[in-house]
Amino acid sequence: MSFLSGFYASLFYLAVVVLILGLINKTIQYARAPAPLKIPTTPAPTTRAGVVLRMAREVVFFESLFKGNKWIWIFGWIFHFGLFLVTLRHLRYFLDPVPALIAFIQPFGIYGGMAMVLGLVGLWARRVLVDRVRFITSASDHLMLLLLVMIGVSGLSMTYVVHTDIVALKNFFIGLYSFQVNPLPSDPLLLIHLFLVALLMIIFPYSKLLHAPGMFFSPSRNQVDNPREKRHVAPWADRLEQREL
């Protein structure tokens, strides 16, 4: 085992542990956050099935963002849909045999990478060119966008500029399942790409990028609009009332 292979194996083991534990910790925090008021954003569904449908539209189509700002919606949806295709395409490095659906998605995943970078550039330009957005943009926002753009550009470069040994790369990741460290290709562009991906996994649970789990715990989205039919009492408030009685 070379030092390079061992280093990246350890890095990805660390990144996976931090990512999983961080997501679990944040999800628990979201679930425990009190929601003392009935505050669904109107017009809101009046049934639980309607809430599920509303959340599905929010997750897939970014409905509220579409109503709020069309330009942000365009670049945001392009980025997220491109990222979705890229993620599906990269599953071939972790599955053996590769499912037919993942094999079919491969050429679309390349276009997804282009869409991902295009969407990020558009979102980044907004933070630079729009005065009111630039005023509230911090250095960390620029660093997050830079990290994502570098991941996308380095990935596309390995497709169109400098190719790498994808068979050896897959053997490396498949071997990690059984704690076996196989040789990792030493191409500089690949090493940069993998390091940036591992860095993203480590900081993801503790950065502004973590908005996907929080969406499902937003009371303005996940509550049924039935304040007249049913009194809304937060669990902690209900326990307090029972204690006083």
Per-residue pLDDT tens over the stretch 10-66: 999 999 999 999 999 999 999 888 877 888 888 899 999 999 999 999 999 999 899
- Band of pLDDT at residue 233, cut at 50, 70 and 90: confident
Task: List CB contacts of 202: < 8 A, sequence separation 6 or more.
Answer: 14, 15, 18, 19
Backbone angle region of 179, left / alpha / beta, with phi > 0 → left and psi within -120 to 50 → alpha: left
* Beta carbons of 73 and 66 less than 8 angstroms apart: yes
Asked if 93 and 166 count as a contact pair (C-beta separation under 8 A), the reply is yes
What does the DSSP 8-state code read for residue 182?
P
Question: What per-residue confidence (pLDDT) applies to 242?
Answer: 58
What pLDDT is stored for residue 245 in this prediction? 52
- Asked, as a colleague might, if the bond just before 188 is cis with ω within 30 of 0, I would say no
Residues 70-92, mean pLDDT to the nearest whole number: 95
244 vs 61 pLDDT, higher one? 61
On the CB side of 199, CA atoms within 13 Å amount to: 13
Average pLDDT for the chain: 90
Type and span of the H or E element at 52: helix 48-61
Confidence of residue 120 (pLDDT cuts 50, 70, 90): very high
Q: 236: domain range? A: 3-244
Confidence at residue 1, expressed as pLDDT on a 0 to 100 scale: 64
Q: What does the pLDDT read at residue 102? A: 94
Q: What is the CATH number of the domain that holds 171?
A: 1.20.950.20
Q: What angle do CA 162, 165, 170 make, to 5 degrees?
A: 130
Strands (E), the chain: none
Q: What is the pLDDT of residue 117?
A: 97
Task: Give the total number of structural domains in the chain.
Answer: 1
pLDDT at 123: 95
Asked if residue 27 lies in contact with residue 203, where contact means CB atoms within 8 angstroms, the answer is: no
Read off the pLDDT of residues 165-219 as tens digits, 9 standing for 90 and up: 999 999 999 999 999 999 999 999 999 999 999 999 999 998 888 888 888 988 8
238: pLDDT strictly greater than 70: no
| pLDDT recorded at residue 235 | 67
Listed residue (159, 157, 153, 190) closest to 172, CA to CA: 190
Q: How far apart are CA 79 and CA 22, in angstroms?
A: 24
The residue-averaged pLDDT of 126-132 equals 93
Q: Could you tell me what percent of the chain has a pLDDT over 70?
A: 95
Q: How confident is the model at residue 239 (pLDDT cuts 50, 70, 90)?
A: low
**pLDDT tens digits for 142-168?**
999 999 999 999 999 998 988 899 999
Reduce the DSSP state of residue 153 to 3 states and report it: helix
